[in-house]
Structure 1
């Protein structure tokens, strides 16, 4: 029987400096997802898929995808990218090569600039960073006073839509904009559509 990476991940979850909820795994969905991705539980990605429906990190700010859970999709390929997480503002994390033949790294599509940024971390290093406190600094520019309670009240399949949006000059101060929960898939789609219109994608 192969050795799973899940005990390492569970230890990080237990010691995380912010709240982390492990959504229960659906064995059938997890097995289907693992099979589609052709990975094993020796890898960190495979372990997350097999042992959780996803991880809800820091009051729900970050949703790390696993095998799938009610309202939260499993890890899947979208537009040629292996999407592994979303944040509540509609940001996307994808694991893909920076160029053909290169080793895959995590890339982030930010709602504040509508571009993909190579974080230059493999999946395991990225997840470890997110679970050990790096998320706070990484997301600082998109947070506002009292965000914790507001984000905690948003369902896993929802994100927070801001108007004016964070990629505009008027929307940079998230404390001063209008914010409301909308379906996460819709929020992500709006960001990508605007990025295409602006010629960023």
Structure 2
């Protein structure tokens, strides 16, 4: 008998210290994503894809990808098979989480943030990472990228939008997000802006 990991995830969601919204799945898209990824709902990744259109975590600060909705891409939408990277989540500031094989040959979650403009290996598998996220890790992880009243501001931002800050978080002047200019922009544009900036600062073509 096969069992879905969704019951386990649901229990962690119910106990989360901040709001977590599971978006309704598209059954056809979910089946296609599971088939193309070669996984089942027995895994945490498969359960999120099979049972949700995505997860909006902590007032929508983090958007975990599932089978997709009108506002969120499905998990395969921006996958890069050649590089072996699979985007699994975005945050409201344009940060990206991918699941990729690290130099040790183990698939782990990597994060690209707008403050450091470089990829960090979080050294967690997907299930461990998502469990930590749902159990409350975001408060500490983002403690330097939040400002008073962010909850209401972020809650009003759609899942396909993000918050662009200027000066940017990677600059000396932009590190205190309570004093910067903040504007709502399309999330794909914000993600591209940060990654293009990183390439330019590293002397690479955008």
TM-score tier by shorter-chain length is over 0.9
The Cα of 1:34 is off from its aligned counterpart by: 1.0
How far, CA to CA, are the matches of 1:139 and 1:74 in structure 2? Answer: 25
> 2:89 — aligned with what?
85
How far, CA to CA, are the matches of 1:151 and 1:68 in structure 2? Answer: 20
| One of 105, 109, 114 as aligned partner of 2:112 | 109
How far, CA to CA, are the matches of 2:2 and 2:69 in structure 1? Answer: 25
Q: Which runs of 4+ in 1 moved over 2 A?
A: none
The size of the alignment, in residue pairs, is: 200
| One of 164, 184, 188 as aligned partner of 1:161 | 164
Q: Residues 161 and 179 of structure 1 are in contact (CA less than 8 Å); yes or no, is this contact kept in structure 2?
A: yes
TM-score normalised per structure 2: 0.94
How far, CA to CA, are the matches of 2:192 and 2:181 in structure 1? Answer: 19
How far, CA to CA, are the matches of 1:4 and 1:198 in structure 2? Answer: 44
> Over residues 121-144 of structure 1, what are the superposed CA-to-partner deviations in whole Å (9 max), with x where a residue is unaligned?
000000000000111100111100
Q: Unpaired runs of 5+ in structure 1?
A: none
> Aligned with 2:35: secondary structure?
helix
How far, CA to CA, are the matches of 1:200 and 1:67 in structure 2? Answer: 36
> Over residues 44-90 of structure 1, what are the superposed CA-to-partner deviations in whole Å (9 max), with x where a residue is unaligned?
00000000000000000000101101110111214732000000000
> 2:6 — aligned with what?
6
1:18-167 to 2 correspondence within 5 Å?
Answer: 18-76=18-76, 77-78=79-80, 80=83, 81-99=85-103, 102-167=105-170
Q: Unpaired runs of 5+ in structure 2?
A: none
The Cα of 1:98 is off from its aligned counterpart by: 1.2
How far, CA to CA, are the matches of 2:35 and 2:200 in structure 1? Answer: 36
RMSD over aligned Cα, in angstroms?
1.3
TM-score normalised per structure 1: 0.96
How far, CA to CA, are the matches of 1:137 and 1:83 in structure 2? Answer: 22
> 1:177 — aligned with what?
180
How far, CA to CA, are the matches of 1:123 and 1:63 in structure 2? Answer: 14
How far, CA to CA, are the matches of 2:143 and 2:96 in structure 1? Answer: 16
Q: Residues 115 and 200 of structure 1 are in contact (CA less than 8 Å); yes or no, is this contact kept in structure 2?
A: no
How far, CA to CA, are the matches of 1:162 and 1:171 in structure 2? Answer: 8
Q: Residues 6 and 51 of structure 1 are in contact (CA less than 8 Å); yes or no, is this contact kept in structure 2?
A: yes
